[in-house]
């Protein structure tokens, strides 16, 4: 059963055979009950028409997941991009506050990662998007600047060491970096496993107090971490 929601708000169900691209999960009221549904995208339908299926055996006879063609890319999630940028701005403001500087090391960790709403929202949305909604897909990030560090030597570098290294070099003819990876984290490198409190903005030589993206590419010949400053980050999206 395919459910079609018209611009008027009316929802009609119809029996259909189709192959459409999933747009993720949603909740919809159908026949007086709220149902978890899978939203679908049909390029041939009017833009104000929404399509859904209910993933249960009473309304679905057969559903086969197919990977999208490798040439097909998903649109960047602009809400996620805005979340990441808002979180970076909130963190930069937080580390300059007297409340943060005067707190002990444990309180600083809590304030940065547990109590700062913008950062918590960005981390949660990143996990939901790539660990749940698009689990198994690769991640593509575009950026103006990044550091590329082999995974096997990453732990031997401090954030200060990395800040002193040259950034990655663009391929000839390229104006931005296109980074493909298998996992992504949103983190402040100087606060990972830190045993002492932050005393000033100078304690953030690499991130400058803003969370960074760390994209893990484990599929290439040499597994690599890519560190991307949010100021130089352009987009992020799953890719089939």
Domain ranges of the chain: 2-53, 78-239
Calculate the alpha carbon distances from 89 to 84, 141, 147, 157, 211 in Å: 9, 20, 21, 26, 9
Distance between CA atoms of residues 6 and 154, nearest Å: 52
Distance between CA atoms of residues 164 and 149, nearest Å: 13
Residue of 178, 202, 177, 203 whose CA lies nearest to 190: 203
In DSSP terms, which residues pair with 22 in a beta bridge? 40
Which pLDDT belongs to residue 205?
A: 95
Q: What is the pLDDT of residues 163-178, one digit of tens each?
A: 999 999 998 888 999 9
Which pLDDT belongs to residue 36?
A: 75
Residues of the chain with pLDDT under 70: 18-24, 43-44, 47, 55-77, 240
Are residues 56 and 215 in contact, defined by beta-carbon separation less than 8 angstroms?
A: no
Residue of 69, 63, 119 whose CA lies nearest to 89: 119
Q: pTM of whole model > 0.75? A: no
**DSSP code for 73:** B
Which pLDDT belongs to residue 132?
A: 77
């Amino acid at each position: 059963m395919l459910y079609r929601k018209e611009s008027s708000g009316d929802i009609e169900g119809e029996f259909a055979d189709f192959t459409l691209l999933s747009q993720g999960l949603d909740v919809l009221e159908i026949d007086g009950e709220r149902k978890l549904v899978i939203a679908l995208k049909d390029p041939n339908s009017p833009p104000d028409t929404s399509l859904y299926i209910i993933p249960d055996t009473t309304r679905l006879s057969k559903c086969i997941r197919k990977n999208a063609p490798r040439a097909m890319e998903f649109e960047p999630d602009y809400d996620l991009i805005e979340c990441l940028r808002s979180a970076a701005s909130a963190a930069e403001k937080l580390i300059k506050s007297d409340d943060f500087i005067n707190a002990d090391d444990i309180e600083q960790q809590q304030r940065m990662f547990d109590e700062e709403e913008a950062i918590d929202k960005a981390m949660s949305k990143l996990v939901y998007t790539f660990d749940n909604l698009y689990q198994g897909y690769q991640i593509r990030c575009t950026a103006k600047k990044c550091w590329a560090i082999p995974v096997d030597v990453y732990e031997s570098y401090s954030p200060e060491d990395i800040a002193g290294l040259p950034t990655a070099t663009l391929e000839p003819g390229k104006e931005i970096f296109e980074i493909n990876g298998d996992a992504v984290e949103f983190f402040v490198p100087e606060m990972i496993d830190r045993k002492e409190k932050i005393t000033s903005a100078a304690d953030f030589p690499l991130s400058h107090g803003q969370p960074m993206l760390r994209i893990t590419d484990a599929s290439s010949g040499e597994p690599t971490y890519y560190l991307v400053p949010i100021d130089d980050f352009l987009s992020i999206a799953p890719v089939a």
